[in-house]
Structures are given as C-alpha cells and as structure tokens.
Amino acid sequence: MTSVQSLTRLPCGNRVLDLAQTHVMGILNVTPDSFSDGGRYSQLDAALRHAQAMVAAGATLIDVGGESTRPGARAVSPLEELERVAPIVELINRELDVIISVDTSTPAVMRETARLGAGLINDVRSLQRDGALDAAAATGLPVCLMHMQGEPGDMQDDPQYQDVTREVAKFLAERMTKCAQAGIPAERIILDPGFGFAKTLQHNLSLFKHMEALHALGRPLLVGVSRKSMIGHALNRPVGERLHGGLALAALASVKGARILRVHDVAETVDVVRMIAAVESAE
C-alpha cells in the first residue's frame, strides 16, 4: 500500500524533495546574457558564493542555467553550455547540501550533469529537442516540463491563444504522454506554466488567475515570475524595481498551490513562504 508520505516525496538524485510544502528555488545563471544577472556568476568562485548565500537564505533547490532563454537570446552550442554548467554543478554537489536543478534543453548537458550530481532537469522546451526525451529518461531524474510556443528568439513575436489556460494545460498533458512513452512516469514530472514565455501581459495575468485549473493534471507546479516583464508591464517598473511585485506573485502562487517558486530574491521569498505556512498551520 502506498503511503501518503511517499506520494509527496520526490527523489532527486541522492536527495529527496518533500512536496507537502512549498519550496524556494534559487536562480544561478552562469551566462553572460541573462536578462537580470547576466555575467555576474560566470566565474566558479562567484557562482559558488552566490549558491551558498541562497542556501543560507533558505533555498532548497539551486537552478543552474548555462543558456539564456530571455526573448531574443542567442543559441549556444552544447559544448559551450556544458563548459559553463558542468563545473559549477560538480562544485555545488561537493560543497553544499542542496538539490541542484539544471536549466537545460540539451541532451549532453542532461546526461553529464546528472553524472556530476544534478537532481532535477528543468527544460523550458519540455524535452522537445532531438534526443532530449531519451537523455532525460536515461538519467532517472525528475523533469520539469514548461509551456512555450516557438523558441526564445521568436516566442514574443505574436503569441496567440483562444484560451491560454486551456491551451497550456493541453500542451503539458501532451508532453506528459510523450514522457510516459519514453519511460518517464508521471511521478517524476513537475509542470511549469511558462509565465513570460510566448505570452502577452494579458495572457500571463489570465493564466496566473486561473492557475488552479492546472492541478487537474495531477502534478506539482513550479512557478517562475521573478523580475519578469509581466511585473514590469503591470507596474511600470524596470528590472531592478520588481521585487515587491514579484513577492506579491510569489504569495499568490503559494496560496494557489504552487510547490516550487523559482526566484532571484531568495531570502525575501522564503519569508513570504514561511509567513503563509505559519498562518495556515494555526488553529
């Protein structure tokens, strides 16, 4: 008989994520061109110090990315991405007690970083690159599937939806089916609605408002809106002034049942999550 506890425990390599509570995932971009922090953590020592600070602030996952997926971002070769990501994954795994997520769509990066200690594959392309499904399945790691139309270079050109929430749910359900066919069971899947990816401000707001509908897919949700343009457009704020809007969305996502919040501002978001938990646990 399967226990309730086992249904909330997600094995992530040599660590386990308890999905009975909301977790904060700290963003570690080891890229020169990410929209918010490009170039700041491309050196190993700076990247490790930032990871250490995020763990100390309460992050239970660190999401390492070596390819920018901001609108208009240039593609990088698998070798270049691997050279950026692999050393820091190996270093964090050796130095810190934290689940390492790798933000990648590249099969070779999935395989190598899994060998080096990664615990989660976070793919904005939902394993649609050639060989990605097989590579992810071979690692045995859980995967996060995200909704996006097109590619980062053109995704914001003219996104169109009749019903954005329904279409996002349909896409994610189809990708879950493809995963099952490749040997990745539903129990190893996390879902990301893809805020800011091939969506206008109104698409993002509507999708966020109706996010609970995605729970019908039966898998935990990851929400990543930290510092994104939906906050900038809604509040008329530049990237450096989007913290308060991001915290409002983090609180709302947590209340709406998101289990992982992917953020730049870890300490502040951890306070949000802990405060909500304190209220919800009261008599």
**Known catalytic residues?**
228, 262
Cβ atoms of 61 and 120 within 8 Å: the answer is yes
Which two tokens mark 182? 């490749």
What string of DSSP letters covers 206-275? HHHHTGGGGGGG-S-BEE--TT-HHHHHHHT--GGG-HHHHHHHHHHHHHTT-SEEEES-HHHHHHHHHH
CA separation, residue 4 to residues 8, 20, 78, 98, 142 (Å): 7, 10, 40, 24, 19
The SS3 call for residue 11 is: strand
End-to-end CA distance of the chain: 31
